[in-house]
Structure 1
Amino acid sequence: MNLLHYAGRLYSLNTLDTRLTTSFKTPPSRLDPVRPSPDEAPYTKGRNGAGELAKGATPPRWRSPEFIYHGLVILLAVPLMFKTVYDVSKRMNIFLSRRALQTDIDDLASHENYHKFASLLSPGWIPGRKVDNSDQQYATFRDNVPYLFAVMMLHPLLRRLFDSVYNAAPNVSSIPPQNGSDSSGSSSSESIIANGRMNRRISFDLGFSALFLLALHGFSAPKVLLILYINYALATRLRKEYVPVATWFFNIGILFANELGKGYPYSDIANVILPWTASAEEVTEQNAKGNWGTVLDSYGGLIPRWEILFNVTVLRLISFNFDYVWSLNRGASSPVEKKHLDSANLSERDRVDLPAKPQDYSFGNYVAYALYSPLYLAGPILTFNDYISQQRHTLRSITRSRNLLYGIRFFIALLSMEVMIHFIYVIAISKAQPEWQVYTPFQLSMLGYFSLHHIWLKLLLPWRFFRLWALLDGIDPPENVVRCMSDNYSAFAFWRGWHRSFNRWIIRYIYIPMGGSGGPGARGKWGRVRGIVNLLAVFTFVAMWHDIQLRLLMWGWLISLFVLPETLAGLLFPKQKWKDHKEVYRLICGVGAVGNILMMMSANLVGFAVGLDGLEGLVQGIVRSYPGTISSIEKCFKPATLTSDPGLVFLGFACVALFTGVQLMFELREEELRHGIHMKC
Structure 2
Amino acid sequence: MTILSFLRELYSLETLDTRFTNSASTSIKSASAKEDEPKPDSQRGGKPLPADATGRLPRWEFWFYIVVVFTSVPQMYWSVVSISQPDSPNYSKYEHLLSPGWMFGRKVDNSDAQYAGFRDNIPYLALLVIFHPLLRRTCEKFAVSGKPSSNETAKPTSRSNQAEIRPRHRLTYDFYSALVFVVALTGFSSLKVLLILFINYKIGTSLPRNAIPATTWIFNIGILFANELGQGYRYSSIANSMIPFYPAAPALGKFLDFYGGLMPRWEVLFKVTVLRMISFNFDHYWSLDRSRAGSPLEKKQLDPSALSDKERVSMPATPAAFSSYRTYVAYILYPPLYIAGPIMTFNDYISQCTYRSSSVTTRRTALYGIRFLATLLCMELMQHTAYAVAISKASPDWSTYTPFQLSMLAYFNLHIIWLKLMIPWRFFRLWALVDGIDPPENMIRCMSDNYSALGFWRSWHRSYNRWLTRYVYIPLGGGPGRGVGVVRGTINLLLVFTFVALWHDINLQLLTWGWLATFFILPEVFGTMAFPASKWKTRPAAYRYICGVGATFNILLMMASSLVGFAVGLDGLMGLVHGIIGSWHGALYMLTACFILFTGVQVMFEHREDEKRKGIKLKC
Report the TM-score when normalising by structure 2.
Answer: 0.95
1:325-368 per-position Cα deviation (integer Å, ceiling 9, x unaligned): 11111125322122110001101111111111111112111100
Corresponding residue of 1:489 = 451
User: Equivalent residue of 2:209, what SS?
Assistant: coil
Aligned CA distance change for structure 1 residues 39 and 656 (closer, same or farther; 3 Å)? closer
- What is the aligned partner in structure 2 of residue 155 from structure 1? 132
Q: Distance in 2 between matches of 1:209 and 1:610?
A: 37
Equivalent residues in 2 for 1:495-514 (5 A)?
Answer: 495-514=457-476
Instruction: Report what 1:553 is aligned to.
Output: 511
Post-superposition shift, 1:527?
2.0
Query: What residue number does 2:154 align with?
Result: 175
Cα contact 2:480–2:486 (8 A) shared by 1? yes
**Which of 244, 251, 270 is residue 291 of structure 1 equivalent to?**
251
Identity %: 55
Query: For residue 618 of structure 2, what is the aligned residue in structure 1?
Result: 679
Aligned-partner Cα distance in 1 for 2:574–2:150: 68
Paired residue for 1:331? 291
Match among 340, 350, 353 for residue 314 of structure 2 = 353
CA distance in 2, matches of 1:317, 1:498: 22
Contact preservation (8 Å) 1:32, 1:402 = no
AA in 2 matched with 1:344? S
Question: What is the CA distance between 1:159 and its match in structure 2?
Answer: 0.3
Aligned to 1:304: 264
Taking the aligned partners of 1:590 and 1:307, their CA distance within structure 2 comes to 43
Alpha-carbon contact 1:248-1:318 (below 8 Å) kept: yes
Counterpart of 2:65? 70
CA contact (8 A) 2:21 2:44 kept: no
1:652 counterpart = 2:591: yes
TM-score normalised by the chain length of structure 1: 0.87
User: Contact 1:15/1:33 (CA < 8 Å) preserved in 2?
Assistant: no
* Contact in 1 for aligned 2:79/2:408 (Cα 8 Å): yes
C-alpha contact (below 8 Å) 1:33/1:402 kept by paired residues: no
In structure 1, the residue matched to 2:6 is: 6
1:199, 1:273 → 2: CA distance?
Answer: 43
- Name stretches of at least 5 consecutive residues in structure 1 with no aligned partner: 45-52, 94-111, 177-184, 279-285, 626-644
For 1:230, what is the secondary structure of its paired residue?
A: helix
Partner Cα distance (1:462, 1:34) in 2: 30
Taking the TM superposition and a 5 Å limit, the aligned residue runs for 1:181-580 are 189-275=158-244, 291-331=251-291, 333-361=294-322, 362-517=324-479, 523=483, 527-580=485-538
- The residue number in structure 2 matching 1:118 is 95
Q: Is the 8 A contact 1:374 1:470 kept in 2?
A: yes
Contact 1:312 / 1:377 at 8 angstroms: preserved in 2? Answer: yes
Distance 1:291 1:658, change over 3 A: same
**Residue identity matched to 2:499:** F
The residue aligned with 2:20 is: 20
- Tell me if 1:588 matches 2:546: yes
* Equivalent in the alignment of 2:43: 40
How much has 1:665 moved relative to structure 2? Answer: 0.3
| Counterpart Cα distance in 2 of 1:495 and 1:272 | 45
Letter in 1 for 2:260: G
Distance 1:276 1:213, change over 3 A: closer
Asked if the contact 2:201/2:281 (under 8 Å) is kept, the reply is: yes
Give the SS at the match of 1:517.
coil
Name the CA shift for 1:602/1:518 in 2 (closer, same or farther; >3 Å): closer
Deviations 1:535-574 (CA, angstroms, capped at 9, x unpaired): 1100000000011111100111000000110011011101
Aligned to 2:172, the other structure's residue is in SS state: helix
SS of aligned partner of 1:56: coil
Cross-structure match for 1:50? none
Residue of structure 2 equivalent to 1:629: none
Instruction: Give the ranges of 4+ consecutive aligned residues of structure 1 lying more than 6 Å apart after TM superposition.
Output: 57-60, 168-173
What is the deviation of 1:437? Answer: 1.3
Q: Give the 3-state SS of the residue equivalent to 1:197 in structure 2.
A: helix
Q: Deviations over 1:586-640 (max 9, x none)?
A: 0000000000000000000000001111111100100112xxxxxxxxxxxxxxx
Letter in 2 for 1:115: S
CA–CA distance in structure 2, aligned partners of residues 527 and 493 of structure 1? 21
Structure 2 counterpart SS, 1:130: coil
Aligned with 1:624 (options 582, 602, 610): 582
Listed one character per residue, the Cα deviations across residues 371-409 of structure 1 (whole Å, up to 9, x for unaligned) are 000000000000000000000000111111100100000
- Local SS of the residue matching 1:241: helix
Partner residue, 1:661: 600
Supply the AA of the counterpart residue of 1:250. F
Cα 1:461–1:545 change in 2 (3 A) is same
Change (3 A) 1:277 1:474: closer
Tell me if 1:143 matches 2:120: yes
Shift in Å, 1:43: 9.4
Amino acid at match of 1:2: T
The higher relative CO (CA closer than 8 Å, separation ≥ 6) is in: 2
1:605 aligns with 2:563: yes
Q: How far apart in 1 are the matches of 2:37 and 2:572? A: 45
Deviation at 1:75, TM superposition (A): 2.0
Q: Secondary structure at the match of 1:89?
A: coil
Q: Deviations over 1:393-438 (max 9, x none)?
A: 0011111110010000000000000000000001110110111111
How far is the alpha carbon of 1:529 from its aligned partner?
2.4
Distance in 2 separating the partners of 1:259 and 1:401? 42
* Greater fraction of residues in helix: 2
> What SS does the aligned partner of 1:242 have?
helix
Distance 2:46 2:54 in 1: 10
Give, as a single letter, the amino acid of the residue that structure 1 aligns with 2:437. Answer: I
Residues 38 and 483 (structure 1 numbering): CA distance in 2 closer, same or farther, change over 3 Å?
Answer: closer
Aligned to 1:49: none
Alignment deviations for residues 294-314 of structure 1 (CA, whole Å, 9 cap, x no partner): 011111111000001100000
Opposite residue 444 of structure 1, the aligned amino acid is: L
- Indicate if the aligned counterparts of 1:9 and 1:34 stay in contact, CA closer than 8 A: no
Q: 1 CA distance for matches of 2:123 and 2:57?
A: 43
Query: What amino acid sits opposite 2:409 in the alignment?
Result: L
Shift of 1:272: 1.6
Q: Is the 8 A contact 2:53 2:533 kept in 1?
A: no
Distance 1:42 1:537 in 2: 35
Which amino acid is the alignment partner of residue 160 of structure 2?
S
Q: 1:606 to 1:34 in 2, by over 3 A?
A: farther
Change (3 A) 1:37 1:528: farther
Following superposition, the deviation at residue 170 of structure 1 comes to 6.2
CA distance in 2 between counterparts of 1:293 and 1:674 reads: 64
Equivalence for 1:89: 84
Q: Name the count of aligned residue pairs.
A: 613
Report the Cα distance in structure 2 between the residues aligned to 1:317 and 1:348, rounded to whole angstroms: 21
Deviation at 1:190, TM superposition (A): 1.5
Q: Call closer, same or farther: CA 1:364–1:660 in 2, change over 3 Å.
A: same
CA distance in 2, matches of 1:43, 1:246: 44
